[in-house]
Structure 1
Amino acid sequence: MNINLAVDKSYEGKTFNEVANAPVSALSGVTEKDAQLLEQAFGVKTVSDLAKLKYVRWAQAIVTLAETEQ
């Protein structure tokens, strides 16, 4: 995966570990205002926090299972 496509320019060339510990605004398309709202609503501060958010995991599981549902 080319991580540079998923992160803001200032995070290009960083390791996955560095990006995981970066603020969610490091993700391409996530603004500072978006980051503030995520923190207020869910306590999400880092990319890792977002990935571990139970609602994100639930949504991923539902979509994965929906793809195999007959």
Structure 2
Amino acid sequence: MASIDLDKVLDKAWADKSLPEILAAPVGALKGVSDRDGELLEEAFGVKTVADLADLKYVRWAQALSALRTAE
């Protein structure tokens, strides 16, 4: 399993939280995602939490396409 540097992907307030807490956190817990970005994601796609964003079918589709690109 790949590791991830939580300090690089999470807002400081969330870096020491457990994985379940992070997944249940608002998307604003991700570094670079503003409260307004979170509002827009909720309005457009119903995304409220980090887990919701990870499970969003459009994110999964984009990841699959990117994986295909790197496989070529």
Same fold (TM over 0.5): yes
Length, aligned pairs only:
69
1:1-70 aligned within 5 A: 1-69=4-72
Q: Give 1:47 deviation, angstroms.
A: 0.2
Q: TM-score, normalised by structure 2?
A: 0.90
Identity %: 52
Amino acid at match of 1:57: R
Tell me, in whole angstroms, the C-alpha distance in 2 between the residues paired with 1:59 and 1:68: 14
Amino acid at match of 1:33: R
- Structure 1 unaligned segments of length 5 or more: list them: none
Structure 1 residue runs of 4+, over 3 Å off? none
Amino acid at match of 2:20: N
Tell me, in whole angstroms, the C-alpha distance in 1 between the residues paired with 2:54 and 2:60: 7
Tell me, in whole angstroms, the C-alpha distance in 1 between the residues paired with 2:7 and 2:70: 28
- Structure 2 unaligned segments of length 5 or more: list them: none
The one-character-per-residue Cα deviations of 1:9-63 (angstroms, maximum 9, x if unpaired) are 1112101111011000000000000000000000000000000000000000001
